[in-house]
Structure 1
Amino acid sequence: MKPRPSIYIEGLEPFIDSDLVYKPNPIFSEMESYAKIKNIPIVTAATGAVLSQLVRFLSPKRILELGTGIGYSTLWMVNGFKSARIVTVDRHEEQAKALDEYAKKMGLESQMDVTRVTASVLEYLGDESLWLDVDLFFIDCDKITYPTIFRTLWPKAKKGASFVFDNVLWHGRVLNPDPKKPSDMAVMELWNEVKSQVSEYTLYPVGDGLLFFQK
């Protein structure tokens, strides 16, 4: 995997994540190093901190995370609000089970209510009974699925449900999306869907861009 292009000037993002972001547990830094060695994409530390604070403020009872990775963002959300029931979905079982190990290292395994599901995100969403009562959706999976995920969830999610999409600046490519790249076009399609259907939304320009809105 090629290094992820940053939306910041050269050198600023690593400085933010290493020197300016408060990390409630040193294991987060260990996870960042592991993800870098294994070339596994995770949210930035700044993104994790914003996500954690959003969860703390919203205090959702039920969270559905689409895209587990190694559980980095999952554990940021746990640190934000330990009472939340989190279901995190990813088709890569071997990769996602790192979440269990890191939760144990953080001493959180007995304090959190997290269920890992190994499945295709779109297949999982096919059973509405699994998510109709969710309070917060965090979406950080294959970008080409973003428009379909929005069109699936938005009409039927309960009133007051919160949505957070990661990578909405798509490494700056929202400026000049390549029509030959499905991921570029999918991110732009998500933006078009949100701007046409959501009355209010907030862009947090941290990491690769977090988009927040509520039903």
Structure 2
Amino acid sequence: MKPRPSIYIPELESYIDSSLVYKPNPVFAEMETYAKEKNIPIVSAATGAVLSHLVSLVRPKEILELGTGLGYSTLWMAVGSPETRFVTVDRHKEQADLMDVYAKKMGILEQIHVKRVTDSVLDYLAKESEEWVSSDLFFVDCDKITYPEIFSILWEKAKPGAYFLFDNMLWHGRVLAPDPKKPSDLAVMALWHEVKSQVSGYTLYPVGDGLLFFQKDKK
């Protein structure tokens, strides 16, 4: 991963991820090392652990993940809720294919239920609504400039009671002073505006780069 500003005091985040987060399988640490060497963005170990814990409580039947990366977050969630079915979407097939390699190393490849889709996130949402509209939980961790549009699409079509998770909602601390010249800064702030104006309640987990959790009202 490329070095990025942390929301924590110097060295605390790396200490949390390396020494304080319980990792149920040593392969997670191997994935973290590979991501750092290849400059591939993944969630922090602490974020992965929170994702795993949340899905273990919610027990969703189907999760749509937008942004696969190496499959690091997918595997954290799959460990937390092995019976859940996943559809995970990413444009970079060779990178996403590595998830199967790591799942095999973990010994869980045959137990998890993951469908990988190679496509642009917005194109997938437009073309395959019949596949994803019944999802119980949506995890969004892709290009930040697409966040407001993704929220609009999912919030309108998702079934009542569906859960949502958006990563990078503290945007490396830039929510304090977003740069109006940076489309990604503006997009994250626009999503915050939409959530505050449309969602009846939400929780921000200040792990990694900020994990936002909320639910569509049940009717």
The TM-score normalised by the length of structure 1 is: 0.99
Is the CA contact 2:167–2:210 (under 8 Å) kept in the aligned structure 1?
A: yes
**Percent of paired sites with the same residue:** 73
* 8 Å Cα contact 2:2-2:36 kept in structure 1: no
Cα deviation for residue 24 of structure 1 reads 0.2
| Aligned amino acid, residue 62 of structure 1 | E
Q: How does 1:41-190 map to 2 (within 5 A)?
A: 41-126=41-126, 127-190=128-191
Q: Distance in 1 between matches of 2:40 and 2:176?
A: 25
Q: Which runs of 5+ in 2 are unaligned?
A: none
Give deviations 1:54-81, integer Å, cap 9, x for gaps. Answer: 0000000000000000000000000000
Deviation of residue 155 (structure 1)?
Answer: 1.3
Counterpart Cα distance in 1 of 2:136 and 2:171: 26
CA drift at 1:130: 1.7
Letter in 1 for 2:176: L
- Structure 1 stretches of 4+ with a deviation exceeding 2 A read none
Partner Cα separation in structure 2 for residue 130 and residue 92 of structure 1? 21
**Matched residue, 1:38:** 38
Unaligned runs of 5+ in 1: none
2:148–2:191 CA contact under 8 A, matched in 1: yes
Say how many residue pairs are matched. Answer: 215
**Cα deviations across residues 62-117 of structure 1 (Å, max 9, x unaligned)?**
00000000000000000000000001000000111110100000001111000110
- Distance between the aligned counterparts of 1:156 and 1:35, measured in 2? 34
Aligned counterparts of 2:67 and 2:156: Cα–Cα separation in 1:
21
